[in-house]
Structures are given as C-alpha cells and as structure tokens.
C-alpha cells in the first residue's frame, strides 16, 4: 500500500538489496498443498480508495464484480486494505472502526456473492496508515479473522521495516522479518481456516528466495506501483530473472493493477495486463469496479490474457530480447504452447519481429493475436508495427 513514508522505506530496501550476496538465503521446498494454486485474482481497495474505504463501498465492489462478469472471468477476492482497524479491548482483541460496523456480516455478504474476503494487517505495532498492527497479537488476530470468515491476509512489513534495515547484519535483518512472517503463518494454521497469505515487504532481502519457506503464497518483489506508465514498466521489467524462484502455489508479486484508474491510456493498460500475465502475476484490480467504463472492463476481463496468467503450468515468463525500448518476453504454457509479448516502450510506433526459434520452438506454429482475438495462421516468423507504449501479445500453439 502507499504512504509517504514508503519512499524512504523503498530507498532503504534498494540499498539492502544492492548489498546482498546472491544465493545467501535459499528457499525451502514448497508444500504440496497451497491456498493459491494459480495467481490470485480479485480486487484491492488501496489503489483507488486508499483511506476512503468503508462497508458500503466494499459491498458495492462485490456487487459490481458479479454484475460486470469479472467474477465469472475468474476474479474472486474482495480485499480490504489499510484503515479498517479500530481499537483493542481489555483482552487485546482487535475491533473494527466505525467505517466497518460488522466485519462478519460483511464477509457473509461477500461470500453470498460467490466471492472471498481479504483483509490487511502488519507484523509491526502499526500499519502504514498508523492503525493497530498485529505485533504481539498474532494468534488473537488470526483467530478473529477466521471467526469473521476472512480468506486472504495481506501482511505489510511497514512499521517493522526500520528494525530490519537497522539490523547489524543482513542476515540479522532477514531473521527479524522471517520470524515475523512465520509467527503469523503459524497463527493462521492454528485457526484451521485456509487463507491466502500475501507477504508485502517491497522486495527487501530477496523474498523470492525465502518467501515460500515462511508460508507465503505470494510475496511482493518491488516497491509500490503507481498509475504511471514509467513506474508500471519499471516494476514489470524488474522481474527479469526471477522466474526460477516462483512455482505453482507460490508467486512473485509485482503489486496490484492500476487498470482503469485514469493515469494511463488504454494502450498502456493493455501493456500492463500483458506483462503481468506473462509474469504469472496476481491480478488484483485496483479501480472502482462500480463505475468502470466498458473499455476498462474489456481489458480486465479479456479471456485470452487471463488464460495466459492462469495457465496451469504456473511458470513465470522472462525476457527473451531487448533492444533499446523494444523488448520481447515469453512464457511457457501447458502442453508446449508459448505466450509471447512484443513490447514497444518507446514514444513512437516501431517495427518489431520475432521468430518461433527465438522462443524455443521449431518451424511454423499456429499464432493467435490475443488482444485482437485473431488467428494468424502458421508462421515461423512474425512482424508487426507495435504502437508507442503498446504491445502485441501472441499465443503460439504447440505442434
């Protein structure tokens, strides 16, 4: 989530990451069962509403997710970010504030729509917005979430970040955050209620190497996204080389979607969706679902793009080729197919081309233009004029 303090936190995170010795922290084998067998799809309140979120707005988003067809397209989670928290009672139990008079009733309403409810907390004493975190109350809070019917927890390092950054050694800093995440993992497990466990800690200490070992179903690999093309591209391209650390059930998370929030053009939002799909990234819409335009809906609900993101092979894609502002990324899909994105990050249209050999295939294969929903016949090479800040997303069939 975003907060003015995050700028300094992210700067510190970058400094730590730059000092890390590659391979210093190794991920443990992932468990056989997971709460997120494919990248989670849903909605989160922060990108559009931030602190202006309440019970009525969440219900409206749930209603819109159903009426728009996004639920049927695969979006399932309605996630409440920061600022829902109230005070703890004499026994230490955390209650909601006046904006959320009955979280259990809200969860029941979301569930009645065939959706799932997510919530937010921090392993520190305070959340990013200054509300009560879970430090020292992990078991209590997990029990409360389970009683409410929560299905997803975003756990934001936030106020614990300074302790991690001030540690005497990188190993000591990692140990602090790993212990914090393990404590809530164990607390969730003790409730007996399955919850997707999302580690939000901005890529500090290479979480892709150890996120699964502390119970994460997904872990943030970057600082916060914003509704700007330059920031979205910076985050997306920074995922190069991380594919080997992700596996089905445990996902690299380059942050939530900005599609429909107005800071980018439609062509740029299609680039956003395409890159996230090739990255096997979680697809958490961050717009106002109740007022979105048909164009925004067509981007979020595109069946071909979602099919790539949710491909059962669960293998993240990676960069194949880069030349100035022109990049080609590819992702292996189940059955031997490939998803290929031709990204023009420059400010003018550009001629781009790719061959099947470049993405590990031999000879002509059937090509499909995903955004145009058009079969292109069998080809061994493909050429196109890609618009500025745009993409051509191909699905290449296996023979």
- The residues that are catalytic are 156, 224
**Sign of the C-alpha dihedral, residues 36, 39, 43, 45?**
positive
The encoded tokens of residue 166 equal 């001030």
Give the Cα separation of 95 and 101 in Å (integer): 9
Q: How many CB atoms are closer than 10 A to CB 322?
A: 14
3-state secondary structure of 170: helix
Break the chain down into helix, strand, coil percent, rounded to 5. 35, 25, 40
Contact between 342 and 391 (Cβ < 8 Å): yes
**Cα dihedral sign, 235-240-245-247:** positive
Contact 43, 77 (CB under 8 A): yes
Q: Using CA atoms, how far apart are residues 119 and 246, in angstroms rounded to an integer?
A: 24
HSE at residue 380, side-chain half, CA atoms within 13 A, is 4
Burial grade of 284 (CB within 10 A; 0-12, 13-18, 19 or more) = buried
Q: Answer yes or no: are the C-beta atoms of 118 and 151 closer than 8 Å.
A: yes
The answer for residues whose C-beta is within 8 angstroms of residue 234's C-beta and 6 or more apart is none
CA angle 96, 99, 101 (to 5 degrees): 55
Q: Work out the number of other CB atoms within 10 angstroms of the CB of residue 321.
A: 14
Distance of CA 388 to the CA centre of its chain: 25
Cα-Cα-Cα-Cα dihedral of 4, 81, 270, 334, to 10°?
Answer: 130
Number of residues written out for the chain: 399
d(CA 233, CA 130): 30
């Amino acid at each position: 989530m975003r907060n003015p303090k995050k700028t300094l936190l992210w700067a510190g995170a970058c400094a730590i990451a730059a000092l890390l010795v590659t391979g210093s922290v190794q991920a443990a084998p992932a468990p056989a069962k997971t709460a997120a067998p494919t990248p989670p799809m849903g909605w989160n309140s922060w990108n559009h509403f931030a602190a202006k979120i309440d019970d009525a707005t969440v219900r409206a988003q749930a209603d819109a997710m159903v009426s728009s067809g996004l639920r049927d397209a695969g979006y399932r989670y309605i996630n409440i970010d920061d600022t829902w928290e109230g005070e703890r009672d004499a026994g230490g139990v955390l209650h909601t504030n006046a904006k959320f008079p009955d979280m259990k009733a809200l969860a029941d309403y979301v569930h009645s729509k065939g959706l799932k409810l997510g919530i937010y907390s921090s392993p520190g004493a305070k959340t990013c917005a200054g509300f009560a975190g879970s430090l020292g109350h992990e078991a209590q809070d997990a029990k409360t979430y389970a009683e409410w019917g929560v299905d997803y927890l975003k756990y934001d390092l936030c106020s614990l970040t300074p302790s991690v950054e001030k540690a005497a050694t990188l190993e000591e800093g990692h140990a602090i955050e790993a212990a914090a995440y393990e404590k809530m993992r164990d607390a969730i497990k003790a409730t007996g209620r399955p919850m997707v466990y999302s580690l939000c800690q901005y890529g500090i200490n290479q979480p892709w190497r150890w996120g699964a070992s502390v119970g994460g179903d997904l872990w943030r690999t970057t600082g916060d996204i914003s509704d700007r093309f330059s920031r979205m591209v910076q985050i997306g391209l920074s995922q190069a080389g991380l594919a080997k650390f992700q596996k089905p059930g445990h996902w690299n998370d380059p942050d939530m979607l900005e599609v429909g929030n107005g800071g980018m053009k439609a062509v740029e939002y299609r680039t956003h969706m395409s890159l996230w799909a090739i990255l096997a990234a979680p697809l958490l819409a961050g717009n106002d679902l109740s007022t979105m335009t048909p164009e925004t809906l067509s981007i979020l609900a595109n069946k071909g793009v979602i099919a790539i993101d949710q491909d059962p092979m669960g293998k993240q894609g990676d960069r194949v080729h880069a030349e100035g502002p022109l990049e080609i990324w590819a992702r292996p899909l189940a059955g031997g197919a490939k998803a290929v994105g031709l990204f023009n990050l420059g400010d003018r249209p550009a001629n781009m081309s790719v061959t099947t050999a470049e993405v590990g295939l031999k000879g002509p294969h059937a090509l499909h233009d995903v955004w145009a929903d058009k079969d292109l016949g069998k080809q061994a090479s493909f050429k196109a004029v890609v618009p500025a800040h745009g993409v051509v997303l191909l699905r290449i069939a296996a023979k």
